[in-house]
Amino acid sequence: MYSPWQLLKKYSSYYFTALNGKGHGIHSPFVYDFVRRVLIDDRNFYAYNQVEALRQKLFRDNSLIEVEDFGAGSTLNKTKQRTIASIAQHSAKSKKWAQLLFRIVNYYQPRNILELGTSLGISTAYMSLANPKARLITAEGSAAVAAQASRNFQSLHLSSVQQVVGNFDDILPGILDAVSPLDLVFIDGNHRYEPTVRYFNQLLPHLNATSVVIFDDIHWSQEMEQAWTAIKEHPAVQLSVDLFFIGLLFFRDDFKVKQHFTIRF
């Protein structure tokens, strides 16, 4: 994991070299459309207030739960106590990025969605509300965190969310056998090179030409940057978009030449 100072330096470099976040200078019609209709769409969708009200409630919840951490920087099965408020503040996707996920799902309307890394279900809720008819499977390593997420889903009346609990290494094959093709995948879990690349390779046979794969924290560490670089260069990937904190992959057959865009957001 990069230090805050290292991350700031990297973000500064990204900010001053990235393409304009309003679409100016972007010559790909598909990416221009993504920027104008998704990235900078400033409408206040109905779901925003619902989920943000839940987030504020979680910020005030000082209940302690036992959290198992399977990700980078932890020992397998390492357990520690954390408050719900702490998890909401430090692990749940921020308003800006969770609402971007909503807009992505709202615009592309994927039917089958997979999320690796439920946390408290903030991002899950945004995606589910963006397309209530979608089948959304969300996987979480910590049983206690997943239980809290389940209560959050109930409070928002999200009936189409299916939860799976366990180490991603163990549960991903079964998930992929149960649902295919995957129209959208959001990966916010194990922030290490080998498992990140392995999960992508496992997903590939279950994607289609219109699938979107989103990786969180692509510049979080040297390992994640290496994983992002390797994945975006895969022959199956036709287009990648680097927004610094997340990266998006597209696989459309109508893209004649592989392209990579870094866009300010």
Each residue's pLDDT tens digit, 54-78: 999 999 999 999 998 766 544 344 5
The confidence score (pLDDT) of residue 77 equals 41
Q: Which of 250, 263, 247 is CA-nearest to residue 40?
A: 263
pLDDT value for 71:
62
What distance, in Å, lies between the first and last C-alpha atoms of the chain? 22
What pLDDT, on the 0 to 100 scale, is given for residue 25? 81
**Does a structural domain hold residue 68?**
no
Among candidate residues 106, 152, 111, the one with its CA nearest the CA of residue 134: 111
Q: Is residue 69 part of a domain?
A: no
Residue 237 backbone phi and psi in degrees, to 5: -85, 120
pLDDT < 70: residue spans in the chain: 70-79
pLDDT computed for residue 72 by the predictor: 58
- List the CATH number of the domain containing 12: 3.40.50.150
Indicate whether 72 belongs to any domain: no
Quick check: is 148 in a domain? yes
- For residue 123, give its domain range: 4-60+93-262
Over residues 103-145, the pLDDT tens digits come to 999 999 999 999 999 999 999 999 999 999 999 999 999 999 9
Q: Look-up: residue for tokens 């990204």? A: 14
Count of structural domains, the chain: 1
Is residue 159 domain-resident? yes
Amino acid 181: pLDDT? 96
* Alpha-helix runs per DSSP H in the chain: 4-17, 29-34, 46-59, 84-90, 95-108, 122-130, 143-155, 168-178, 193-203, 222-232
Question: Are 167 and 175 a contacting pair, CB within 8 Å?
Answer: no
Distance (Å, whole) CA 252 – CA 260: 14
Is 88 contained in some domain?
no
The answer to the question of residue 78 being in a domain is no
Q: Which residues contact 131 (CB under 8 A, 6 or more apart)?
A: 105, 106, 109, 110, 111, 113
Specify if 83 maps to a domain: no
